[in-house]
């Protein structure tokens, strides 16, 4: 087995164990390969091992990889998981299937206007600001503003609201991480109560995905534990 295949088997076993421990079906958790800085060959190897969802942090890098791989791997789903800038929305709207980092209405408006008319709807998650984010930090939509942003997105053409995404602040202990993931699960439940057809809670990365699954995450974004250290990382 290749390294990626071995890593994937271990990750799938850990995801299944975490899900069952929480009384959940392991099939309710999607593994998204966070492929920033990984070459197309590594993504192709991960696809050959059975992965279908890939997340990119940089619009141009991700768009280039998606274009290079779509002919041979049309089954892959591409997620934009980096900071969404207004001058990149056209590229993101055209190249990706999902955008997990919508933080304000004007970005949603741009994505809706720039998504191709003949294509499927762009799947969208709201990135919610973590607790403890510095005032004024561009870390996500404030929790109290998320319901209004959800309603706005739900009313736009060519977008489909799917759920929430969280990137916690660094340095949280287990109790702090659990509290953050639980907060997001509660907000997702509130959106459902408000009538939104949302099904995605994107929480958890290589170091904390089991905690996220225990608190309700349906999609975990894993890079290092799958691919190993990023190329060029110290």
Residue 74: what are its φ and ψ, rounded to 5°?
Answer: -70, -10
Question: Per-residue b/e over 193-218, b at no fewer than 16 CB within 10 Å?
Answer: eeebebebbbbbbeebbbbbbbbbbb
pLDDT-based confidence at 233, cuts 50/70/90?
A: low
- Condensed to tens digits (0 to 9), the pLDDT of residues 20-53 reads 999 999 999 999 999 999 999 999 999 999 999 9
Q: Give the single-character DSSP code of 37.
A: T
State the residue for tokens 């994937």.
Answer: 8
Average pLDDT over residues 183-194: 98
State the residue for tokens 């060029």.
Answer: 232
pLDDT-based confidence at 119, cuts 50/70/90?
A: confident
In Å, what is the CA distance from 141 to each residue of 7, 129, 147?
A: 34, 5, 10
* Domains present along the chain, CATH in parentheses: 3-130+139-226 (3.20.20.10)
């Amino acid at each position: 087995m290749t390294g990626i295949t071995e890593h994937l088997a271990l990750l799938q076993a850990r995801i299944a164990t975490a899900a069952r421990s929480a009384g959940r079906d392991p099939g309710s958790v999607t593994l998204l390969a966070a492929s920033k800085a990984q070459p197309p060959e590594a993504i192709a190897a991960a696809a050959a091992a059975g992965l279908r969802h890939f997340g990119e942090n940089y619009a141009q890098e991700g768009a280039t990889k998606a274009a290079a791989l779509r002919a041979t791997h049309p089954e892959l789903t591409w997620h934009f998981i980096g900071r969404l800038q207004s001058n990149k929305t056209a590229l993101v709207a055209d190249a990706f299937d999902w955008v997990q980092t919508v933080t304000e209405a004007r970005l949603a408006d741009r994505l809706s206007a720039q998504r191709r008319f003949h294509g499927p709807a762009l799947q969208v998650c709201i990135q919610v600001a973590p607790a403890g984010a510095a005032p004024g930090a561009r870390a996500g939509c404030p929790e109290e503003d998320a319901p209004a942003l959800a309603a706005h997105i739900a009313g736009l053409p060519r977008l489909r609201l799917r759920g929430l995404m969280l990137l916690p602040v660094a340095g949280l202990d287990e109790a702090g991480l659990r509290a953050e993931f639980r907060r997001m699960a509660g907000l997702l439940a509130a959106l459902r109560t408000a009538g939104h057809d949302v099904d995605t809670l994107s929480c958890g990365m290589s170091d904390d995905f089991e905690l996220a699954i225990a608190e309700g995450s349906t999609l975990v974004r894993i890079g290092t534990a799958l691919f190993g250290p990023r190329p060029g990382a110290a």
